[in-house]
A = this chain, B = another copy of it.
Amino acid sequence: MTTDPTTGPTTDPTVATADGTTSATSDSTAETRQERFERGIEVLNRVDGESGQRVIDALADVNPELGHQVVAWGFGEIYDRPGLSPRDRQLVTLGMLTALGGCEPQLDVHINAALNVGLTRDEIAEALLHTAVYCGMPKAINATFVAKKVFGERRLLKDS
């Protein structure tokens, strides 16, 4: 069972389920922190799989509130919104992480995520080629070597 790093298991889950709506765009719904976290965990697991969960777990003993906010806010409130498909969000995310630089651990998570939500190996490689025009060759190459690691782990590398 996955639990919020700030609280541990909720002993009484019935407290927090009064109206049952889950829409991120609802203005009216009262939600507990725990409910927002649980919604985020569902999205996180669907998008990032185990690699996202490992990051949250690793934050638990140093900055549990950061782990909570990544899940409850980043995934529960933003990722879950219906206005942009999960596949589209990963395209934006690959662009951002390549441009920021120094985000290789996050690129690892999100190249996996991109594959999880339907982008192909070739589309990801093409997107990273495209970053060369805007971010320059070094950042495009750095991101591509993360893709090489992920593709290798998932047996997606070309014979060369």
Contact = CB atoms under 8 A, between A and B. Distances in A.
A147 B5 contact: no
Most buried by B among A72, A134, A158: A134
Interface string A20-34: 000001111111111
A126 to B, nearest CB: 4
B53 A27 contact: no
B151 A89 contact: no
A130 B28 contact: no
Given A16-B34, A30-B30, A69-B77, 16 more contacts: A4-B33, A4-B71, A4-B72, A5-B56, A6-B64, A27-B33, A31-B32, A62-B145, A62-B148, A65-B125, A66-B132, A88-B88, A88-B91, A99-B99, A103-B139, A106-B137
Interface residues of A, number: 98
Contacts of A58: 145, 148
B59 A5 contact: yes
Interface of A: 2, 4-7, 10, 15-18, 25-35, 37-38, 41, 45, 53, 55-74, 77-79, 81, 83-84, 88-89, 91-103, 105-106, 122-123, 125-142, 144-145, 147-148, 151, 157-160
- The copy count of this chain in the complex is 6
Contact of A96 (B66, B98, B102): B98
Contact of A135 (B25, B53, B74, B96): B96
A66 B140 contact: yes
B33 A26 contact: yes
A92 B62 contact: no
